[in-house]
């Protein structure tokens, strides 16, 4: 652990020998206002594609509740419990916590799934609407001579 004269603190590997943020823990850091998870592609491996529609379905089925920590009854929160999140997505190291990077990744995948779903539904509705317009035009065309003759 390193604490430099300005109070910045580093814990862990090489980037923390001269921390440039208030707190640096290996590759993640806190600037005093935000916790920033490391997300550099060079630190990751074993990439596999995600079925965003499956994620959307799992998010839709995930129980979400308002709750508070037993130790802090004055601060309400909202979200899933770790056990349900782990069961739905098999992410993280155990079923006692939810890493913010996983919660954010699931939310982004669900948004992509929702975008895909809405896009497909909109395309189907546009095609149906176009067919109905053409049908209406044909009906109006068939009725037009009869209406003119009736005048």
What's the CA gap between 109 and 87, in Å, rounded? 17
What's the CA gap between 108 and 59, in Å, rounded? 11
Give residue for tokens 């600037």.
31
Q: Which residues pair with 77 in a beta bridge?
A: 67
* Other residues' Cβ atoms within 10 Å of the Cβ of residue 22: 14
- Each residue's pLDDT tens digit, 112-143: 999 999 999 999 999 999 999 999 999 999 99
Q: Would the pTM of this model clear 0.85, i.e. be above it? A: no
CA angle 98, 93, 23 (to 5 degrees): 65
- Each residue's pLDDT tens digit, 35-70: 899 999 999 999 999 999 999 999 999 999 999 999
- Each residue's pLDDT tens digit, 80-99: 999 999 999 999 999 999 99
């Amino acid at each position: 652990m390193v604490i430099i004269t300005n109070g910045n603190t580093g814990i862990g590997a090489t980037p923390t020998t001269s921390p440039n943020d208030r707190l640096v823990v290996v590759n993640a850091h806190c600037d005093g206002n935000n916790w920033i998870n490391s997300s550099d592609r060079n630190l990751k491996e074993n990439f596999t594609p995600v079925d965003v529609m499956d994620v959307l379905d799992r998010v839709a089925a995930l129980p979400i509740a308002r709750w508070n920590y037993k130790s802090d009854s004055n601060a309400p929160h909202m979200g899933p419990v770790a056990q349900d999140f782990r069961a739905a997505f098999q992410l993280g190291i155990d079923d006692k916590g939810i890493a913010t990077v996983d919660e954010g990744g699931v939310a982004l995948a669900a948004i992509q799934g929702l975008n895909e779903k809405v896009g497909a539904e909109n395309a189907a509705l546009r095609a149906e609407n176009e067919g109905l317009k053409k049908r209406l035009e044909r009906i109006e065309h068939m009725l037009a001579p009869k209406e003119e003759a009736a005048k």
